[in-house]
């Protein structure tokens, strides 16, 4: 069965991503918004145990009764949990134990799936697989954050290449690089019959004005121009909270960038490297994206504009900040119970990102996908696409 194959493959791929790691690399949590690799391994496993095994296999015995406390992320309906900031405080369970937990749950899952796959299990299994794919990307970005903040700048994998190179040098300046979209009513949201998250539903109409959107993302060259012409100091191009954020945190370049002897370097998953001006800019906050756009006398797309234009765009290399708040679509419905906490409760102050990144797992992107992060977050592979 395809779904069981997907399950096996996704479960295995998470572990493959951990191949380059030393034991020590599984343990550390550098920031509140990241998690240790060990925790990602356990949490994605707990998801299947909690939402499928405990529900559909009455004789299932938990691997360890305390793991619910340790590996629950944010589901209030499933009881007390470790505070998010304490994930890096746990030397135990050991990495070995966590791998044993994965093995145990995998086996129980395959056993269950060999006997019984009702519609509800299919839905939860599909959700669990997509959930683990999301954590695969987070695993990579969290590891990058950990290594990139280590004064030794260790490589995660010296042969990985997550730095895209583009051909065009000044993409946003050529007329032919812009896609024009006509004013009118368009339909938005997922309407296929495969998997989508609840936040992409239900499909509905929006009215859009004329706009032009660039086919490509902004390059490092273009952002270096912004830096060198004093963009970080020009308060007129910044949002008010962005200005405060930038000043409080003394931000004057993208995350992972540093200047040595007047040359820009950045930490990449393959180690410290010179910034390639022709590569796509990444690791910038919404605030930097908005300031850059303003400085260009352009703006960011809304998520609707992006979705409408997406088929004519080159996308999938960087998550793209939109100027849309992450809010409910008309007729949005939360699932019952704990699974209903997956998306809906975060519909508040965050911004929508569209597209996908070099770190996104394959088969885990589509044009209706709504990713969301806070305006100041930079540790995802985030980029800029301009609209005029």
> Which lies closer to a copy of itself via its Cβ, residue 34 or residue 44?
34
- Cα 182 from chain centroid (whole Å): 30
Q: Compute the least distance from the CB of residue 337 to a copy of itself, in Å.
A: 9
* Shortest Å, Cβ 91 to a copy of itself: 4
| Nearer to a copy of itself among residue 287 and residue 369 (C-beta) | 287
- DSSP for 265-315, please give it: EEEETTEEEEPPTTBBP-S--HHHHHHHHHHTT-BPPPHHHHHHHGGGS--
* 3 versus 201: smaller Cβ distance to a copy of itself: 201
Neighbouring residues of 194: CB distance < 8 A, sequence distance ≥ 6: none
Residues 343, 354, 251: CA angle, nearest 5 degrees: 95
Q: State the nearest-atom distance from the C-beta of 380 to a copy of itself, in Å.
A: 18
Shorter beta-carbon distance to a copy of itself: residue 129 or 189: 189
Nearest CA to 142 among 17, 288, 325, 286?
17
Q: Tokens at residue 70, please?
A: 């340790």
The phi-psi region of residue 106 (left if phi > 0; otherwise alpha if psi is between -120 and 50; otherwise beta) is alpha
Residue 308 Cβ vs a copy of itself, minimum distance, rounded to whole Å: 13
- Tracing tokens 């949002």 back to the chain, one arrives at 239
Q: Quick one: how far is CA 39 from the chain centroid? A: 17
| 116 and 44 Cβ atoms separated by less than 8 Å | no
Closest distance of CB 303 from a copy of itself, Å = 11
Question: CA-based angle 214:217:220, to the nearest 5?
Answer: 135
Kindly tell me which of 152 and 263 has the beta carbon lying closer to a copy of itself: 152
Q: Smallest Cα–Cα separation from 37: which of 99, 130, 82, 81?
A: 99
Min dist CB 264 to a copy of itself, Å, is 21
Residues engaged in binding a copy of itself (CB under 8 A): 22-28, 30, 38, 66, 69-70, 74, 76-77, 82, 88-95, 146-147, 149-152, 154, 185, 204-207, 209, 235-236, 238-243, 299, 323-325, 327-328, 330-331, 340-341, 345-349, 375
Least distance to a copy of itself, CB of residue 89, Å:
5
**CB closer to a copy of itself out of 8 and 69:** 69
E-state strands within 114-228: 178-181, 184-188, 204-208, 211-214
Choice between 171 and 198, CB closer to a copy of itself: 198
**C-alpha pair distances (Å), 347 with each of 47, 85, 327:** 22, 22, 5
Q: d(Cα 384, Cα 378) in Å, to the nearest integer? A: 12
Minimum distance of a copy of itself from residue 299's CB (angstroms): 8
Contact 121, 19 (CB under 8 A): no
Q: What is the DSSP letter of 283?
A: S
Hey, is 132 helix, strand or coil? Answer: helix
With respect to a copy of itself, which residue has the nearer C-beta, 12 or 235?
Answer: 235
Burial of 97 (0-12, 13-18, 19+ CB in 10 A): middle
Residue among 317 and 370 whose Cβ is closer to a copy of itself = 370
Q: What is the smallest separation between the CB atom of 111 and a copy of itself, expressed in angstroms?
A: 27
């Amino acid at each position: 069965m395809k779904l069981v194959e997907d399950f096996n493959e996704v479960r295995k791929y998470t572990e493959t991503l951990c191949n380059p790691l030393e034991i020590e690399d599984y343990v550390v949590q550098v920031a509140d918004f990241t998690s240790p690799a060990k925790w990602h391994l356990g949490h994605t496993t707990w998801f299947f145990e909690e939402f499928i095994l405990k529900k559909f296999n009455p004789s299932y015995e938990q691997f360890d009764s305390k793991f619910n406390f340790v590996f629950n992320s944010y589901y209030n309906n499933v009881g007390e949990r470790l505070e998010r900031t304490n994930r890096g405080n746990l030397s135990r369970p050991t990495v070995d134990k966590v791998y044993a937990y994965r093995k145990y749950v995998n086996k129980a899952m395959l056993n269950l799936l060999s006997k019984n796959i009702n519609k509800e299990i299919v839905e939860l299994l599909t959700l669990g697989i997509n959930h683990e794919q999301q954590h695969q990307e987070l695993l990579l970005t969290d590891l990058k954050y950990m290594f990139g903040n280590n004064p030794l700048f260790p490589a995660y994998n010296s042969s990985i290449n997550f730095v895209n190179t583009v051909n065009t040098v000044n993409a946003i300046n050529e007329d032919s690089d812009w896609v024009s979209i006509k004013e009118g009513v368009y339909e938005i949201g997922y309407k296929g019959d495969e998997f989508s998250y609840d936040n992409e539903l239900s499909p509905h109409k929006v009215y859009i004005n004329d706009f032009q959107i660039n086919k490509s993302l902004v390059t490092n060259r273009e952002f270096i121009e912004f830096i060198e012409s004093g963009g970080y100091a020009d308060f007129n191009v910044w949002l008010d909270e962005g200005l405060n954020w930038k000043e409080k945190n003394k931000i004057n370049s993208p995350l992972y960038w540093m200047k040595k002897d007047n040359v820009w370097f950045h930490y990449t998953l393959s180690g410290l490297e010179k910034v390639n001006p022709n590569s796509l800019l990444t690791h910038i906050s919404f605030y930097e994206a908005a300031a850059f756009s303003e400085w260009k006398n352009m703006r960011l797309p809304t998520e609707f504009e992006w979705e409408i234009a997406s088929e004519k765009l080159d996308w999938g290399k960087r998550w793209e900040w939109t100027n849309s708040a992450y809010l409910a679509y008309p007729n949005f419905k939360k699932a019952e119970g704990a699974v209903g906490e997956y998306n809906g409760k975060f519909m508040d102050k965050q911004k929508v990102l569209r597209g996908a990144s070099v770190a996104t797992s394959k088969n885990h992107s589509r044009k209706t996908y709504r990713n969301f992060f806070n305006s100041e977050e930079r540790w995802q592979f985030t980029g800029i696409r301009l609209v005029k």
